[in-house]
Amino acid sequence: MNMASSKVLFIIKSKSKLQFQFLILHSCLLLSLSYTTNNGFHSIDLESLSHSSSCNHHPSTGKPSKPPTPSTIQVYTPCPPLPLTADDARVRSIQAKVRRATTSDAFNDVKATLPAHLGIGNYAVTVSLGTPPKSLSLNFDTGSDLTWTQCQPCSGSCYPQDDPIFDPSSSTTYSKIQCAAPQCSTLRLSPGVFATCAVTDCNYRLQYGDRSTSAGEFSKDTLTLTPDDTVPDFLFGCGQENRGLFVKSAGLLGLGRDAISIVSQTEKKYGKYFSYCLPSTPSSTGHLTFGKTGSPSSGVAFAPFANSRGTSFYFLDITGISVAGQELSIDRTIFTTAGNLIDSGTVITRLPATAYGALSQAFQEGMTSYPRAPPTTLLDTCYDLSNFTTVTLPRIAFTFAGNLKVNLDFYQMLSIHSIQQVCLAFAANQNDQDVGIFGNIQQRGLEVVYDVAGGNIGLGPGGC
């Protein structure tokens, strides 16, 4: 995965400067961007910009990013995304969860907080539930375990969603989990999930980092991943009281390590092995694949999972960061003290404050030809590129445990708010003791392979 050059060259061609005013995180504009790599440089052509017609939960066009198999689902970007303040809420929730799992502190104010947030920068898949199967768009999340969807009747409230709300009375294979059933006991042990009993039925309640909630009946039904691939008696939450910023998705598909996640529920079928590629733009598609469908892409290299620290998160140790081909002088204990996890639902990568400071400073030293721009709420290393047609960026690379090195490209380095405000897509934790998170901007376009049973994670270019 290593590249010979330490610089990235972006050549921008447009008929006017206005044509380059686009958003990746805060808009649903289609960025028609093609580029080639030559002698270690990326040549970027931004000639065509238009409003996206694929910013929805059921794209009717687009080919899967890899050959379809019985267990491969198309991944797409739901729109519109929400402000990054919600991403911050998710990060605080994850960090509180990790602290609570590794300390004796009570953390009474976060006991009801599931470390997840839907809607911002999340990625979605379309699956079906019930018999006959009803199509549902679900955000998938490696930081969550319980899969849930909105259900009729909405006894409290249901938020607007694109799909018809699932009606369990219309499914011949639906049933509620009883309080005395062992599945209810399993639910009670799941981190962040509160299980209660209403007479004989097992109920659940989740509260997310931004105070969004889902509550309802713990149930089972047939889950259809593709027409050729079904999961009978799949355990899920049938949510009848749901509030929050869910961007019209029907719910969530939980990919965490806990016993109630889809990864664990399908262990006998898929061997706790899944992979995905997150599309770089709303116009492109990725994939979510369960099970081994052959050898990983030739460019995929593996690193061992780090200790999960009593949580269902996937921890992956960072051992170094380089900018412009130079390893940053960061004491490795900065990374190992708090640890680092990889998360499909966090947008902006969070680093220990010391590590982020070194990264930002080195990036600025490679960007002295370009004027600075005002910071955003979350991002502080920003530039005004309105007077340039060619932009040269210092290459950023991350090294993980096992000497797994990942070079980042244009999509994975920058958050582009407008031509006047292009920002480095990383942020600092409040201190070096907070867990780091490798977010989904940096994962875009990568093949990300989770060999949970084998204790390894794989990363490689060209996933979609």
Q: Where in the sequence numbering do the catalytic residues fall?
A: 141, 343
Which residue matches tokens 């299980």?
195
For residues 433 and 420, the answer to whether their CB atoms sit within 8 Å is: no
If you compute the radius of gyration of the chain from its CA atoms, what whole number of angstroms results?
22
Separation of CA 310 from chain center: 21
Q: C-alpha angle 259/263/265, rounded to 5°?
A: 55
Selection from 149, 91, 80 nearest residue 120 by Cα: 80
Which residue matches tokens 């990864």?
263
291 CB-near residues (< 8 Å, 6+ apart): 71, 269, 270, 271, 273, 274
Give, in order, the Cα–Cα distances in Å from 132 to each of 71, 74, 162, 166, 173: 19, 21, 19, 11, 9
Selection from 345, 228, 220 nearest residue 291 by Cα: 228
Which residue matches tokens 């969603």?
161
Structure tokens at 400: 């993980």
For residues 174 and 219, the answer to whether their CB atoms sit within 8 Å is: yes
Q: What is the DSSP letter of 248?
A: B
Residue 43, Ramachandran bin (φ over 0: left; ψ between -120 and 50: alpha; else beta) = beta
Give, in order, the Cα–Cα distances in Å from 240 to each of 153, 168, 177, 223: 6, 11, 15, 19
